[in-house]
Amino acid sequence: MDQSDVMSDSPAERAALVRRLIRGGATAVLATAVGDSGWPYGSLVLTACDPDAAPIVLISQLAEHTRNIAADDRVSLLFDGTEGLEHRLTGPRASVQGRAVATSDPACRERFLGRHPEAAEYVDFADFAFYRIAVDRAHLVAGFGRVYWIEGAALAPGLPSPRALAEAETSIVAHMNQDHAEAVALYATRLLGHGEGAWIMTGCDTEGIDLRCGHCRARLDFDAPVGDAQDARKALIALAGRARGNGG
């Protein structure tokens, strides 16, 4: 992922890049504070996110980082968008700071398992729980000399509201996978340049869609934010037309 080459330095684009890093990421480095000492403790975790791009993690109560969160819920997640670049320090990454709040929201579970189906093997273990990160701010490094602090309020997607589309997300994803599997595959292969395979859609939000084929995950942004299921349908049709070479 190299969004830095096309990113302007406007505040809106900086915030959009952080959201793209969160939405496109499958893992992050979770940093917590160790007890009274306050020493930072970093660990690799699987991530997903809410429709508004708030990160979601599934962690065990037996893990060191979860015990740390119980004592101090302030955390940082490092999202790395530099993989595959020849010079990785020229690529974008963001440290997202916030507070980890345990949640039993079934939508968090659905979005997380859509991105990480292998987690179904342990998601119902008694010691595992989902945590949603309420973001306070983020530190974005978009490349050399392009370093910014962004407050949490500025990171939230603007209009249209993510929640309006979130209510229809499950039905949109099911419809696309059941009735338009060819289009889903074309999104991944022709628009994103990935290899052939059994691609499925796993998520749809106001800014784009999430795709998966086995352990390969991909993110495709819409040309412009969509507000509801009807707008999403139009955007998906337009993307399919472009993938088939019919315009766009």
SS (H, E, C) the chain: CCHHHHCCCCHHHHHHHHHHHHHHCCEEEEEEEEHHHCEEEEEEEEEEECCCCCEEEEEECCCHHHHHHHHCCEEEEEEECCCCCCCHHHCCEEEEEEEEEEECCHHHHHHHHHHCHHHHHCCCCCCEEEEEEEEEEEEEEEECCEEEEEEHHHHCCCCCCHHHHHCCHHHHHHHHHHHCHHHHHHHHHHHCCCCCCCCEEEEEECCEEEEEECCEEEEEECCCCCCCHHHHHHHHHHHHHHHCCCCC
Question: Is 163-243 a CATH 3.20.180.10 domain?
Answer: yes
**In angstroms, rounded to a whole number, what is the distance separating the alpha carbons of residues 95 and 28?**
9
Ranges of each domain in the chain: 3-156, 163-243
Q: Do domains 3-156 and 163-243 have the same CATH topology?
A: no
Instruction: Report the Cα–Cα distance between both ends of the chain, in Å, rounded.
Output: 22
pLDDT tens profile 170-229: 999 999 999 999 999 999 999 999 999 999 999 999 999 999 999 999 999 999 999 999
- pLDDT at residue 1 greater than cutoff 60: no
pLDDT tens profile 98-132: 999 999 999 999 999 999 999 999 999 999 999 99
pLDDT tens profile 142-181: 988 899 999 999 998 877 778 879 999 999 999 999 999 9
pLDDT tens profile 7-28: 557 999 999 999 999 999 999 9
Structure-block tokens of residue 80: 């790395």
- Distance of alpha carbon 10 from its chain centroid, rounded? 21
CATH topology assigned to domain 3-156: Pnp Oxidase; Chain A (2.30.110)
